[in-house]
Amino acid sequence: MIRESQARQLLDILRDRIGDRQLVLFLDYDGALAAAVEHPDAVLLDDETRRNLQRLAAVHPLQVISGRDQGDVQARLGIAGIECIGSYGFHMMDALPQIDRQALEEAVVELECAANELEHWLDYIEGVVIDRKKYSFALHYRMVDRDDLQQINAAASDVLERYASLAWKKGKKVIEFVPDIPWDKGLCVEAVLARLRGTSGSREPFVVYIGDGATAEEAFAVLDPDTALGVLVVDHECDSAAEFRLRDPEAVSDFLGILD
Protein backbone atom coordinates (compact mmCIF):
# COMPACT_ATOMS: atom_id res chain seq x y z
CA MET A 1 0.00 0.00 0.00
CA ILE A 2 1.31 3.43 -0.94
CA ARG A 3 2.36 5.42 2.14
CA GLU A 4 1.67 9.11 2.67
CA SER A 5 4.82 10.95 3.71
CA GLN A 6 5.92 14.35 4.85
CA ALA A 7 9.02 15.95 3.32
CA ARG A 8 11.26 15.25 6.33
CA GLN A 9 10.14 11.60 6.59
CA LEU A 10 10.85 11.04 2.92
CA LEU A 11 14.30 12.59 3.26
CA ASP A 12 15.13 10.30 6.21
CA ILE A 13 14.07 7.24 4.18
CA LEU A 14 16.18 8.39 1.24
CA ARG A 15 19.26 8.92 3.40
CA ASP A 16 18.80 5.49 4.94
CA ARG A 17 18.69 3.77 1.54
CA ILE A 18 20.97 5.72 -0.78
CA GLY A 19 24.34 4.64 0.63
CA ASP A 20 27.19 5.81 -1.61
CA ARG A 21 25.08 5.84 -4.78
CA GLN A 22 24.58 8.92 -6.92
CA LEU A 23 21.21 10.62 -6.50
CA VAL A 24 19.36 10.95 -9.82
CA LEU A 25 16.11 12.94 -9.91
CA PHE A 26 13.21 12.44 -12.32
CA LEU A 27 10.32 14.87 -11.98
CA ASP A 28 7.00 15.38 -13.74
CA TYR A 29 6.05 18.99 -14.43
CA ASP A 30 2.24 19.33 -14.41
CA GLY A 31 0.71 18.20 -11.14
CA ALA A 32 4.04 17.44 -9.47
CA LEU A 33 6.24 20.54 -9.78
CA ALA A 34 3.40 22.90 -10.70
CA ALA A 35 -0.23 22.71 -9.61
CA ALA A 36 -2.82 21.96 -12.28
CA VAL A 37 -5.18 24.80 -13.20
CA GLU A 38 -8.02 25.17 -15.69
CA HIS A 39 -5.99 26.18 -18.76
CA PRO A 40 -2.71 24.35 -19.52
CA ASP A 41 -0.96 27.60 -20.49
CA ALA A 42 -1.45 28.87 -16.94
CA VAL A 43 0.42 26.02 -15.20
CA LEU A 44 3.40 27.94 -13.84
CA LEU A 45 6.33 27.10 -11.58
CA ASP A 46 6.55 29.13 -8.37
CA ASP A 47 9.76 30.94 -7.47
CA GLU A 48 10.65 28.75 -4.50
CA THR A 49 10.40 25.55 -6.52
CA ARG A 50 12.49 27.12 -9.29
CA ARG A 51 15.21 28.05 -6.80
CA ASN A 52 15.19 24.52 -5.36
CA LEU A 53 15.51 22.99 -8.82
CA GLN A 54 18.31 25.35 -9.80
CA ARG A 55 20.29 24.41 -6.67
CA LEU A 56 19.75 20.66 -7.12
CA ALA A 57 20.53 20.67 -10.84
CA ALA A 58 23.99 22.03 -10.03
CA VAL A 59 24.90 18.91 -8.02
CA HIS A 60 22.69 16.02 -9.23
CA PRO A 61 21.51 14.69 -12.60
CA LEU A 62 17.98 16.09 -12.88
CA GLN A 63 15.43 15.26 -15.56
CA VAL A 64 11.96 16.71 -16.03
CA ILE A 65 9.69 14.42 -18.07
CA SER A 66 6.49 15.95 -19.38
CA GLY A 67 3.68 15.51 -21.84
CA ARG A 68 4.44 19.04 -22.99
CA ASP A 69 6.74 19.79 -25.88
CA GLN A 70 10.40 19.86 -24.92
CA GLY A 71 10.78 23.56 -25.71
CA ASP A 72 7.67 24.42 -23.70
CA VAL A 73 9.04 22.70 -20.59
CA GLN A 74 12.47 24.30 -21.01
CA ALA A 75 10.89 27.75 -21.28
CA ARG A 76 8.70 27.22 -18.22
CA LEU A 77 11.64 26.01 -16.13
CA GLY A 78 14.20 28.52 -17.39
CA ILE A 79 17.02 26.62 -15.66
CA ALA A 80 20.30 25.50 -17.20
CA GLY A 81 21.50 22.00 -16.36
CA ILE A 82 18.11 20.29 -16.33
CA GLU A 83 17.42 17.71 -19.02
CA CYS A 84 13.90 18.25 -20.35
CA ILE A 85 12.27 15.24 -21.99
CA GLY A 86 9.11 16.20 -23.84
CA SER A 87 6.02 14.43 -25.18
CA TYR A 88 6.21 11.62 -22.59
CA GLY A 89 9.66 10.73 -23.84
CA PHE A 90 9.06 10.80 -27.58
CA HIS A 91 11.65 13.58 -27.93
CA MET A 92 14.24 11.19 -26.53
CA MET A 93 12.91 8.37 -28.70
CA ASP A 94 13.63 10.35 -31.85
CA ALA A 95 17.36 9.97 -31.24
CA LEU A 96 17.37 6.22 -30.55
CA PRO A 97 18.53 3.95 -33.41
CA GLN A 98 16.25 1.01 -32.52
CA ILE A 99 13.07 2.98 -33.15
CA ASP A 100 11.20 2.48 -36.42
CA ARG A 101 11.63 5.93 -37.96
CA GLN A 102 9.12 5.30 -40.72
CA ALA A 103 6.43 4.36 -38.19
CA LEU A 104 7.24 7.50 -36.22
CA GLU A 105 6.97 9.72 -39.28
CA GLU A 106 3.65 8.13 -40.28
CA ALA A 107 2.30 8.68 -36.78
CA VAL A 108 3.29 12.37 -36.84
CA VAL A 109 1.24 12.85 -40.03
CA GLU A 110 -1.76 11.06 -38.51
CA LEU A 111 -1.47 13.12 -35.33
CA GLU A 112 -1.93 16.28 -37.38
CA CYS A 113 -4.96 14.85 -39.21
CA ALA A 114 -6.56 13.58 -36.01
CA ALA A 115 -6.06 16.90 -34.24
CA ASN A 116 -7.65 18.73 -37.18
CA GLU A 117 -10.68 16.43 -37.08
CA LEU A 118 -11.23 16.77 -33.36
CA GLU A 119 -10.79 20.52 -33.52
CA HIS A 120 -13.50 20.65 -36.20
CA TRP A 121 -15.91 18.22 -34.52
CA LEU A 122 -15.63 19.72 -31.04
CA ASP A 123 -15.49 23.38 -32.02
CA TYR A 124 -19.01 23.96 -30.70
CA ILE A 125 -18.14 22.74 -27.17
CA GLU A 126 -17.01 25.59 -24.96
CA GLY A 127 -13.84 24.93 -22.96
CA VAL A 128 -12.20 22.31 -25.20
CA VAL A 129 -8.47 22.96 -25.68
CA ILE A 130 -6.40 21.05 -28.24
CA ASP A 131 -2.68 21.50 -27.58
CA ARG A 132 -0.56 20.43 -30.56
CA LYS A 133 2.99 19.19 -30.10
CA LYS A 134 5.64 17.60 -32.30
CA TYR A 135 5.00 14.01 -31.23
CA SER A 136 1.56 14.23 -29.66
CA PHE A 137 -1.45 16.39 -29.05
CA ALA A 138 -3.54 16.86 -25.94
CA LEU A 139 -7.30 17.16 -25.75
CA HIS A 140 -7.99 19.11 -22.54
CA TYR A 141 -11.50 19.19 -21.13
CA ARG A 142 -11.00 20.60 -17.61
CA MET A 143 -13.17 23.63 -18.47
CA VAL A 144 -15.92 21.67 -20.24
CA ASP A 145 -19.46 21.29 -18.93
CA ARG A 146 -20.18 17.79 -17.58
CA ASP A 147 -23.02 17.35 -20.08
CA ASP A 148 -20.54 17.51 -22.98
CA LEU A 149 -18.13 14.85 -21.70
CA GLN A 150 -19.89 11.95 -23.42
CA GLN A 151 -19.55 13.65 -26.81
CA ILE A 152 -15.86 14.36 -26.21
CA ASN A 153 -15.12 10.74 -25.28
CA ALA A 154 -17.09 9.46 -28.26
CA ALA A 155 -15.18 11.71 -30.66
CA ALA A 156 -11.84 10.74 -29.15
CA SER A 157 -12.68 7.03 -29.32
CA ASP A 158 -13.73 7.36 -32.96
CA VAL A 159 -10.44 9.03 -33.90
CA LEU A 160 -8.41 6.39 -32.10
CA GLU A 161 -10.29 3.61 -33.88
CA ARG A 162 -9.68 5.07 -37.35
CA TYR A 163 -6.02 6.08 -36.99
CA ALA A 164 -4.12 2.82 -36.53
CA SER A 165 -0.75 4.42 -35.82
CA LEU A 166 -2.03 6.31 -32.77
CA ALA A 167 -2.64 5.44 -29.12
CA TRP A 168 -3.88 7.51 -26.20
CA LYS A 169 -2.88 8.19 -22.63
CA LYS A 170 -5.62 9.38 -20.28
CA GLY A 171 -4.74 11.84 -17.55
CA LYS A 172 -6.59 14.21 -15.25
CA LYS A 173 -9.21 15.72 -17.57
CA VAL A 174 -6.89 15.33 -20.55
CA ILE A 175 -6.49 12.75 -23.31
CA GLU A 176 -3.07 12.60 -24.97
CA PHE A 177 -2.79 11.14 -28.46
CA VAL A 178 0.68 9.70 -29.12
CA PRO A 179 2.35 7.39 -31.66
CA ASP A 180 1.41 3.76 -31.05
CA ILE A 181 5.05 2.81 -30.58
CA PRO A 182 6.42 0.97 -27.51
CA TRP A 183 7.94 3.92 -25.70
CA ASP A 184 6.95 5.51 -22.39
CA LYS A 185 8.26 7.20 -19.25
CA GLY A 186 9.56 3.93 -17.85
CA LEU A 187 11.71 3.34 -20.93
CA CYS A 188 12.89 6.95 -20.65
CA VAL A 189 14.10 6.31 -17.12
CA GLU A 190 15.92 3.14 -18.19
CA ALA A 191 17.56 4.92 -21.15
CA VAL A 192 18.81 7.79 -18.99
CA LEU A 193 20.17 5.41 -16.36
CA ALA A 194 21.95 3.34 -19.03
CA ARG A 195 23.57 6.51 -20.33
CA LEU A 196 24.65 7.58 -16.83
CA ARG A 197 26.11 4.16 -16.09
CA GLY A 198 28.12 4.43 -19.29
CA THR A 199 29.73 7.67 -18.16
CA SER A 200 33.33 7.22 -17.08
CA GLY A 201 33.77 7.32 -13.30
CA SER A 202 30.07 7.48 -12.54
CA ARG A 203 28.66 5.90 -9.39
CA GLU A 204 25.69 3.57 -9.38
CA PRO A 205 22.51 5.67 -9.46
CA PHE A 206 19.80 5.91 -6.86
CA VAL A 207 16.61 7.20 -8.44
CA VAL A 208 13.93 9.42 -6.96
CA TYR A 209 10.98 9.70 -9.33
CA ILE A 210 8.23 12.15 -8.34
CA GLY A 211 5.24 12.04 -10.64
CA ASP A 212 1.56 12.65 -11.02
CA GLY A 213 -1.08 10.60 -12.79
CA ALA A 214 -1.27 7.51 -14.97
CA THR A 215 1.83 8.16 -17.07
CA ALA A 216 3.99 8.33 -13.95
CA GLU A 217 2.93 4.75 -13.24
CA GLU A 218 4.91 3.72 -16.35
CA ALA A 219 8.04 4.94 -14.57
CA PHE A 220 7.15 3.59 -11.13
CA ALA A 221 6.70 0.14 -12.65
CA VAL A 222 10.39 -0.12 -13.67
CA LEU A 223 11.85 1.13 -10.38
CA ASP A 224 13.70 -1.28 -8.11
CA PRO A 225 12.81 -0.50 -4.45
CA ASP A 226 16.39 -1.30 -3.46
CA THR A 227 17.77 1.46 -5.69
CA ALA A 228 14.87 3.88 -6.11
CA LEU A 229 12.01 5.75 -4.48
CA GLY A 230 8.79 6.21 -6.42
CA VAL A 231 6.69 9.12 -5.13
CA LEU A 232 3.17 9.78 -6.41
CA VAL A 233 1.74 13.27 -5.98
CA VAL A 234 -1.88 12.82 -4.99
CA ASP A 235 -4.11 14.07 -2.15
CA HIS A 236 -5.98 10.81 -1.48
CA GLU A 237 -5.33 7.12 -0.94
CA CYS A 238 -5.11 5.09 -4.14
CA ASP A 239 -3.45 2.09 -5.74
CA SER A 240 -0.06 2.80 -7.28
CA ALA A 241 3.25 1.19 -8.15
CA ALA A 242 4.85 4.05 -6.21
CA GLU A 243 5.94 3.35 -2.65
CA PHE A 244 5.21 6.79 -1.23
CA ARG A 245 3.00 9.78 -1.88
CA LEU A 246 3.18 13.51 -1.29
CA ARG A 247 -0.09 15.41 -1.16
CA ASP A 248 0.53 18.23 -3.64
CA PRO A 249 3.21 20.29 -5.48
CA GLU A 250 3.71 22.36 -2.34
CA ALA A 251 4.79 19.22 -0.48
CA VAL A 252 7.09 18.37 -3.41
CA SER A 253 8.67 21.81 -3.15
CA ASP A 254 9.15 21.29 0.60
CA PHE A 255 10.95 18.01 -0.08
CA LEU A 256 13.17 19.51 -2.79
CA GLY A 257 13.94 22.40 -0.45
CA ILE A 258 15.54 20.13 2.19
CA LEU A 259 17.21 17.80 -0.30
CA ASP A 260 20.97 18.25 -0.62
Measuring CA to CA, how many Å separate 202 from each of 21, 36, 149? 9, 36, 50
- Cα-Cα-Cα-Cα torsion 124, 129, 130, 131, nearest 10 degrees, comes to 160
Give, in words, the CATH class of 3-94+183-258: alpha beta
Which H or E run contains 215?
A: helix 214-220
Most confident of 166-170, 212-216, 252-256: 252-256
pTM over 0.75: yes
Flag whether pLDDT at 237 surpasses 90: no
DSSP 16-53: HHHTTSEEEEEEETBTTTB---SSGGG----HHHHHHH
Flag whether pLDDT at 223 surpasses 90: yes
- pLDDT computed for residue 97 by the predictor: 65
CATH homologous superfamily of 101-179 equals Trehalose-6-phosphate phosphatase related protein; domain 2 (3.30.70.1020)
Q: Check if 226 is active-site.
A: no
The pLDDT confidence band at residue 22, using thresholds 50, 70 and 90, is very high
Report the distance separating Cα 101 and Cα 203, nearest Å.
33
- pLDDT computed for residue 111 by the predictor: 96
Flag whether pLDDT at 96 surpasses 70: no
- pLDDT computed for residue 121 by the predictor: 93
Read off the pLDDT of residues 127-141 as tens digits, 9 standing for 90 and up.
999 999 988 999 999
How many other β-carbons are positioned within 10 Å of the β-carbon of residue 154? 11
Q: Higher model confidence: residue 87 or residue 247?
A: 247
Report the distance separating Cα 107 and Cα 126, nearest Å.
28
What mean pLDDT comes out for the span 56-76? 93
- pLDDT computed for residue 200 by the predictor: 58
Select which of 28, 69, 184, 212 is catalytic.
28
Under a CB-based contact definition with an 8 Å cutoff, are residues 23 and 204 in contact?
Answer: no
The pLDDT confidence band at residue 11, using thresholds 50, 70 and 90, is very high
- pLDDT computed for residue 14 by the predictor: 95
Under a CB-based contact definition with an 8 Å cutoff, are residues 3 and 239 in contact?
Answer: no
DSSP 121-188: HTTTSTT-EEEE-SS-EEEE-TTS-GGGHHHHHHHHHHHHHH-TTEEEEEETTEEEEEESSS--HHHH
Q: Where are the domains of the chain?
A: 3-94+183-258, 101-179
- pLDDT computed for residue 213 by the predictor: 82
What percent of the chain shows pLDDT beyond 90?
70
Flag whether pLDDT at 233 surpasses 70: yes
Report the distance separating Cα 149 and Cα 27, nearest Å.
30
**Beta strand 3-4 with 228-233: parallel, antiparallel or unpaired?**
unpaired
3 state SS for 190-203: HHHHHHHHCCCCCC
- pLDDT computed for residue 125 by the predictor: 94
Read off the pLDDT of residues 102-134 as tens digits, 9 standing for 90 and up.
888 899 999 999 999 999 999 999 999 999 998
Read off the pLDDT of residues 138-189 as tens digits, 9 standing for 90 and up.
999 999 999 999 999 999 999 999 999 999 988 888 999 999 988 889 988 9
- pLDDT computed for residue 95 by the predictor: 65
